[in-house]
């Protein structure tokens, strides 16, 4: 089953457009460069010439380029401090320092942990080295180092938050798939419950009706018209039970109708192969010309064979067994006979006790007859015969009679 994560479980994204997101860093870069010039031009305390704003402008340009070259931009941003000292200033201004922090933080946020750490270390080394080499106070270098280290830590935190966000998106998608799988399993379980209820109630009621109509038909030997009507109703009842069985199978397997194939005498050898694999000697003998069976008769015959073989394992200890399928005109007979000599320890007190009753009910619904009993010399035999009826047409006159 194909599944898609519901939108309610998706991690929310920023509503800004991709174009707006692409403009963030260019705008920040131009802002840092512009404010560096304004800061130098309006400085009335030191009165430095406008050329001393050049390191701040370069830092702004690096901010503009950092999405494409994050590591190089971070390292070069730290090296701009050398330009400040070369131009005769005591160090970077506030705007330039903010730009340097943005470069280091961005590199640690978007690069792998090791590569981001390397970029932060190189930028910090450049700032620290320039501060100790050119600053009149060595504490200036430590101050720049603290700013770079703090920016790197913030970038690492942002990177981990982004990684956690991606993990949450994956978990949300998996949770949605699991919810759909649980819902599908619940639907399947509900179908199976409905199927059991339908089979236990409706099938039993229809089967009793068919049996009662068969008994009524035999009580009316002098009314052929009524017998034809009852015979047609019996046939209709059996076909209804068979059709309901197919519908129940679809409900159990799923709404697509891809249910497992119904048991059939044509595939009886596959049923016996499972017992042979377990060490039970089973012989299959088929005589006569196989004919096409109504589904109800076909399934009932196989179920009788399966129940008889289960009884052999339960009560006769997997004795050697012979399964015969005899085809004659208008009739098919299945016979299961064991020799009564256990191959394993039988379990006569195993749960059960309703096997023969279920077989008789199944055979009766299909219009057949069942004979069970011991075999002279040892062993047990189950024989079920089923009619292979020809299509019956109910005369209109008989229906109206």
- Which range has the worst mean pLDDT, 132-141, 247-256, 273-282? 247-256
DSSP element (H, E) containing 119: helix 113-134
- Angle CA(184)–CA(186)–CA(188) in degrees, nearest 5? 70
Q: Among 127, 159, 176, identify where a domain stops.
A: 176
pLDDT at 286 (0 to 100): 93
- The alpha-carbon radius of gyration of the chain (Å, integer) is 44
For residue 260, tell me if it sits in a domain: no
Taking residues 82-101, report their average pLDDT.
81
The domain that contains 334 carries what CATH number?
3.30.565.10
pLDDT at 9 (0 to 100): 39
pLDDT at 252 (0 to 100): 58
Taking residues 230-252, report their average pLDDT.
67
Alpha carbon of residue 315 to chain centroid: 42
Give percent of the chain with pLDDT exceeding 90.
8
pLDDT at 394 (0 to 100): 45
For residue 5, tell me if it sits in a domain: no
Q: What is the DSSP letter of 260?
A: P
65 and 162 assigned to the same domain = yes
Question: Tokens 């379980």, residue?
Answer: 189
279 and 225 assigned to the same domain = no
The pLDDT tens digits for 54-88 are 888 888 888 888 888 888 888 888 888 888 777 87
Q: Is the pLDDT of residue 259 over 60?
A: no
pLDDT at 41 (0 to 100): 83
For residue 185, tell me if it sits in a domain: yes
187 and 126 assigned to the same domain = no
**CA–CA distance, 386 with 300 (Å, rounded to integer):** 9
Q: What is the DSSP letter of 390?
A: P
pLDDT at 175 (0 to 100): 86
Residue 354: Cβ-neighbour burial (10 angstroms; 0-12, 13-18, 19+): exposed
Please give the structure tokens belonging to residue 259.
């249910």
Q: Among 109, 142, 176, identify where a domain stops.
A: 176
- Span between the terminal Cα atoms of the chain, in Å: 55
More confident residue, 395 or 55: 55
Range of the domain at 377: 265-387
The β-bridge relationship of strands 321-328 and 282-287 is: parallel
Structural domains of the chain, count = 3
**CA–CA distance, 282 with 277 (Å, rounded to integer):** 10
DSSP element (H, E) containing 322: strand 321-328
Please give the structure tokens belonging to residue 358.
């279920």
186 and 152 assigned to the same domain = no
More confident residue, 181 or 206: 181
Q: Among 176, 199, 234, identify where a domain stops.
A: 176
For residue 172, tell me if it sits in a domain: yes
Q: What pTM did the predictor assign?
A: 0.41
Any bridge partners for residue 155, and if so which? none
Q: Quickly state the pLDDT bin for 383 (edges 50, 70, 90).
A: very high
The pLDDT tens digits for 139-179 are 666 777 788 788 888 888 888 888 888 888 888 888 888 88
**CA–CA distance, 181 with 191 (Å, rounded to integer):** 15
From the CB of residue 124, how many other CB atoms can be counted at a distance below 10 Å?
Answer: 23
For residue 7, tell me if it sits in a domain: no
Question: What 3-state DSSP class applies to 328?
Answer: strand
More confident residue, 198 or 112: 112
163 and 195 assigned to the same domain = no
Contact 184, 1 (CB under 8 A): yes
109 and 204 assigned to the same domain = no
The pLDDT tens digits for 101-137 are 888 888 888 888 888 888 888 887 887 777 777 766 6
Taking residues 12-26, report their average pLDDT.
65
pLDDT at 260 (0 to 100): 52
Residue 46: Cβ-neighbour burial (10 angstroms; 0-12, 13-18, 19+): exposed
146 half-sphere exposure, CB direction, 13 A CA radius = 5
Q: Is the pLDDT of residue 353 over 50?
A: no
Q: Is the pLDDT of residue 16 over 80?
A: no
Taking residues 220-226, report their average pLDDT.
74
Contacts of residue 78, defined as CB under 8 A and 6 or more positions apart, other chains included, come to 100, 103, 104, 122, 123, 124, 125, 126, 127, 148
Residue 345: Cβ-neighbour burial (10 angstroms; 0-12, 13-18, 19+): exposed
For residue 3, tell me if it sits in a domain: no
40 and 162 assigned to the same domain = yes
Q: Sign of torsion, CA 311 294 323 373? A: positive
Taking residues 216-232, report their average pLDDT.
73
103 and 221 assigned to the same domain = no
Question: What 3-state DSSP class applies to 386?
Answer: strand
Taking residues 12-17, report their average pLDDT.
47
Across 1-5, 46-50, 314-318, 352-356, the highest mean pLDDT is recorded for: 46-50
**CA–CA distance, 89 with 126 (Å, rounded to integer):** 17
The pLDDT tens digits for 314-344 are 777 667 889 999 999 989 999 999 887 765 5
> What is the average pLDDT score of the chain?
76
65 and 160 assigned to the same domain = yes
For residue 101, tell me if it sits in a domain: yes
36 and 154 assigned to the same domain = yes
25 and 146 assigned to the same domain = yes
Taking residues 267-273, report their average pLDDT.
85
Q: How long, in residues, is the chain?
A: 401
Contact 59, 37 (CB under 8 A): no
154 and 49 assigned to the same domain = yes
More confident residue, 49 or 209: 49
């Amino acid at each position: 089953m194909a599944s898609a994560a519901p939108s309610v479980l998706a991690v929310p994204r920023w509503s800004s457009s991709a174009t707006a997101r692409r403009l963030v860093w260019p705008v920040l870069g131009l802002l840092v460069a512009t404010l560096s010039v304004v800061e130098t031009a309006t400085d009335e305390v030191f009165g430095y010439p406008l050329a001393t704003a050049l390191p701040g402008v370069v830092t702004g340009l690096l901010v503009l380029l950092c999405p494409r070259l994050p590591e190089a931009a971070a390292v070069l941003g730290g090296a701009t401090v050398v330009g400040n000292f070369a131009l005769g200033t005591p160090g970077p201004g506030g705007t330039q320092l903010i730009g340097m922090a943005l470069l280091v933080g961005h590199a640690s946020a978007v690069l792998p942990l090791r590569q981001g750490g390397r970029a932060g270390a190189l930028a910090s080394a450049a700032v620290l080295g320039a501060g100790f080499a050119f600053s009149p106070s060595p504490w200036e270098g430590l101050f720049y180092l603290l700013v770079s280290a703090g920016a790197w830590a913030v970038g690492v935190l942002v990177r981990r938050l982004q990684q956690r966000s991606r993990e949450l998106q994956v978990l949300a998608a998996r949770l949605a798939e699991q919810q759909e799988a649980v819902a599908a399993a619940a639907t399947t379980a509900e179908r199976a419950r409905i199927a059991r209820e339908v089979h236990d109630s409706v099938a039993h009621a229809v089967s009793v009706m068919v049996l009662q109509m068969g008994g009524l038909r035999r009580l009316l030997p002098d009314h052929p018209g009524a017998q034809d009507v009852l015979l047609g109703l019996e046939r209709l009842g059996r076909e209804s039970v068979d059709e309901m069985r197919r519908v129940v199978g679809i409900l159990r397997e799923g709404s697509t109708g891809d249910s497992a194939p119904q048991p059939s005498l044509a595939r009886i050898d596959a049923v016996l192969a499972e017992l042979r694999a377990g060490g039970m000697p089973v012989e299959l003998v088929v005589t006569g010309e196989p004919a096409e069976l109504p589904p109800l008769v076909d399934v009932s015959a196989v179920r009788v064979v399966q129940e008889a073989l289960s009884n052999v394992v339960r009560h006769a200890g997997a004795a050697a067994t012979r399964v015969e399928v005899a085809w004659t005109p208008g009739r098919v007979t299945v016979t299961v006979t064991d020799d009564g000599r256990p191959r394993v320890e039988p379990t006569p007190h195993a749960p059960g006790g309703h096997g023969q009753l279920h077989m008789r009910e199944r055979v009766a619904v299909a219009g057949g007859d069942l004979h069970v009993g011991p075999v002279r010399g040892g062993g047990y035999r189950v024989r079920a015969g089923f009619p292979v009826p020809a299509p019956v047409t109910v005369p209109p006159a008989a229906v109206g009679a």
